[in-house]
Amino acid sequence: MKNVRHIFFDLDHTLWDHDSNARKVLSVMHEKFEIGSFTGMSKEKFIETYTKVNDSLWDRYNQGQIEREYLRKERFRIVLKKCGTEDVSRSDEMSDYYIKHCPRQKGLVEDADIILNYLSKKYKMSLITNGFEDIQQVKVKSTGLDRYFEKMYTSEAVGAKKPDPKIFEYALTDQSLEPHEVVMIGDNLKTDIKGALGVNITPIFFNPLGVVKSDCEWQISRLQELMKIL
């Protein structure tokens, strides 16, 4: 990859450890909102239920089927109903709590700081994310990730979600880059990898669990493997 001079990174699940950060907040919420008392659901089952609901809603959001406010307002309503209760009176309060505290968690994916420190000495880097502008800004500032990245392009600010070519084209134009000068690193085949290929950017698929099968030419299971590629 001799011609590469800029790296686009996805944020959630690639650098910011969404799963561990969400788990910490949801564990507190299980006790704070007495989920076990009025649903009989254990903390682990509550977290599992939330994860499935959240993943499904984000998939629908990425496909343009629902809007931001629907995701925020309905997420914990759906979770509570799946927990076996029709009492969703505290769902808005739960949503507000989660939105306030989760983005402020500082957990990063293993090796994130090491690899970003290494790459930042060789390349300029930007973030491209389908997350919400205000929430993603909190994440990068809370974790200190902002020191590595010149810019962050969110789908909300640009007006296009990965894999839509528009968000990648916007970032390329804004940085005065050609596709062959960039690589895109992300964990999502539908948004990151498909999106990068759609504009002739070379993708690197971050596949830490190895359970997702892909014919993507460049794949890594740990971020430190990027030292061998870039």
The pLDDT score that the predictor gives to residue 132 is: 95
Tokens (6 digits) for 70: 């629907």
What's residue 125's pLDDT?
A: 98
What pLDDT, on the 0 to 100 scale, is given for residue 104?
98
**Which segments of the chain have a pLDDT < 50?**
none
pLDDT for residue 129: 98
Strand partners, 128: 153
User: Bridge partners of 183?
Assistant: 7, 202
**Distance from CA of residue 28 to its chain's centroid?**
21
What is the C-alpha separation between 125 and 7, in angstroms, rounded?
5
Give the pLDDT score at 194: 96
Looking at residue 36, its pLDDT comes to 92
- pLDDT, tens digit, for every residue of 98-156? 999 999 999 999 999 999 999 999 999 999 999 999 999 999 999 999 999 989 999 99
Cα distances (Å, whole numbers) of residue 206 to 34, 94, 148, 202: 37, 32, 19, 13
pLDDT of residue 144: 97
Per-residue pLDDT, 139: 98
Pair of tokens at residue 207: 């596949």
The confidence score (pLDDT) of residue 38 equals 86
DSSP state of 102: G
Report the predicted TM-score, pTM, of the whole model to 2 decimal places.
0.94
Between β-strands 202-206 and 182-186, what pairing exists: parallel, antiparallel or unpaired? parallel
What's the sign of the alpha-carbon dihedral 115, 165, 191, 92? positive
CA distance 169 to 162: 11
Cβ–Cβ < 8 Å for 60, 80: no
What are the residues whose beta carbons fall under 8 Å from the beta carbon of 120, sequence distance 6 or more?
148
